[in-house]
Amino acid sequence: MSYAAVGPAVPAVPPAAVLCGVGAWVPPRVVTNDELAIRLDTDDTWIRTRTGIRARHVLEPGQATSDLAVEAGRRALACAGIVAGEGVDAVVVATTTPDRTCPGTAPLVAARLGLTGAAAFDVAAVCTGFVYGLATAAGLITAGVARRVLLIGADAYSTIVDPLDRANAIIFGDGAGAVVLRAGNADEPGAVGPFDLGSDGAHEDMIMVAAGGSRQPVTLDGTSRTDRHFAMRGKEVYRHAVTRMTESARTVLSKAGWKTDDVDHFVPHQANLRILCSVADDLELPRERCVTHVESVGNTGAASIPLALADAAARRTLTPGDRLLLTAFGGGLTWGSCLLTWPTLPTPAPPHHQGEHRTP
């Protein structure tokens, strides 16, 4: 019996997810190391030598993560040539600082971008959120659920870090970065993948906000200030970050059959300049191939990789055909990597305001 009449014998090749837009935004207010040293027992030299950070941007009181996400999303949509949100099927927001515990931030962001009706949800993987979100958004496309997805990494750590905690207040900044993915072919520039994703929940207490979830609801009388704020065991996290990022980068390179030397730009999560340099050294990647943005924005959590991408694209550091390795690490613990070849894109608007000094 022949089945020829009932349909094609060979299944259609599933679409690949192709990056077709990038954009980012940081709030105008710049906080320099010297400004932090006024209220904290720290100084510019300590911060610069231990982290590479010179300044960070922070929200004004009353602003929230969705305000960052909407600006970055708008810029990525414009870069992708998408007018009035037409044809975007899903909006994914990777964040550790959602506007509220409930509901997710993505539906509000979608509505404010004129995308009411699109699927919208948050991804929670702390500083690895963008890479997890990229895998999730790509999965929506390869599964045929969506044709175009807006993925935004947005975080406002200034809202959860204790302003008097010198160990963390110096590191983090607020910002958002976004990409648009569309259905396309695996062999065209911009196609994302392969991926490597991983986690180790045995170390959940290494990076945490203890109170505010179901394990430890916030109570008026029983919640200490420490429990409500972001806490991190920096030295231990540092060691895990270097090891896991290096391993994850090696894994994804071997999945694709790339050698380290094939990588034109290493775009790591911008945690600390010393971590980025250590990972690049361990991978035997020349440090000048490491895209860094941490000097002027600090650690912006889930926003850091798309912010670095948008900043590099705005400065025309990324040229079509360049091969990129994205690698992240964060609370959970979580880590992940992804490869892509940079596509031809219109130059996006810079994440910083015009005329602003990037490095004070």
Report the interface residues with ligand UT7, using CB under 6 A. 42, 46, 50-51, 127, 166-167, 170-171, 234-235, 237-238, 241, 271-272, 275, 299, 329-330
Half-sphere exposure at residue 131, Cβ-oriented, CA atoms within 13 angstroms = 34
Q: Identify the three-state secondary structure at position 90.
A: strand
Instruction: Pick between residue 15 and residue 331 the one whose CB is nearest to ligand UT7.
Output: 331
Among residues 121 and 238, whose Cβ is nearest to ligand UT7?
Answer: 238
Read off φ and ψ for residue 195, nearest 5 degrees: -120, 155
Smallest gap from Cβ 50 to ligand UT7, in A, equals 5
Angle 355-130-272 from CA coordinates, rounded to 5°: 65
Is 168 noted as a catalytic residue in this protein?
Answer: no
Provide the CA 233 distance to its chain's centre, in angstroms.
21
CB 61: neighbour CB atoms within 10 A?
A: 7
Which one of the listed residues 127, 290, 293, 338 is annotated catalytic?
A: 127
If the CB atoms of residues 65 and 91 are measured against ligand UT7, the closer one turns out to be 65
The active-site residue out of 79, 293, 299, 338 is 299
Residue 346 identity (one-letter amino acid): P
- CB distance 323 to 341 below 8 Å: yes
Please tell me whether the peptide bond between 346 and the residue prior to it is cis, using omega within 30 degrees of 0: no
User: Which residue's CB is nearer to ligand UT7, number 56 or number 182?
Assistant: 56
Q: How far apart are CA 87 and CA 276, in angstroms?
A: 37
Sequential DSSP letters for 155-171: EEGGGTS-TT-HHHHTT
Nearer to ligand UT7, 48 or 323 (CB): 48
Which residue number has the CB closest to ligand UT7? Answer: 234
36 within 8 A of 165, measured Cβ to Cβ:
no
CB of 162 to ligand UT7, least distance (A): 13
CB of 259 to ligand UT7, least distance (A): 27
CB of 105 to ligand UT7, least distance (A): 19
User: Closest separation between CB of residue 93 and ligand UT7, Å?
Assistant: 18
What is the rounded CA–CA span in Å between residue 199 and residue 333? 5
CB of 148 vs ligand UT7, minimal distance in Å: 30
* Contact between residue 148 and residue 88 where contact means Cβ atoms under 8 Å apart: yes
CA angle 341, 345, 348 (to 5 degrees): 120
Q: Which candidate in 269, 272, 290, 352 is catalytic?
A: 269
Catalytic residue flag (residue 102): no
DSSP state of 350: P
Q: In the structure encoding, which two tokens stand for residue 121, read together?
A: 């949800």
DSSP-based three-state secondary structure for 201: helix
Provide, rounded to whole angstroms, the least separation between the CB of residue 159 and ligand UT7. 16
Give whichever of 268 and 348 is closer to ligand UT7, judged by the CB atom. Answer: 268
Q: Is 20 a catalytic residue?
A: no
Q: Which is nearer to ligand UT7, 171 or 267 (CB)?
A: 171
**157, 167 Cβ separation under 8 angstroms:** no
What are the residue numbers of the active site? 127, 269, 299
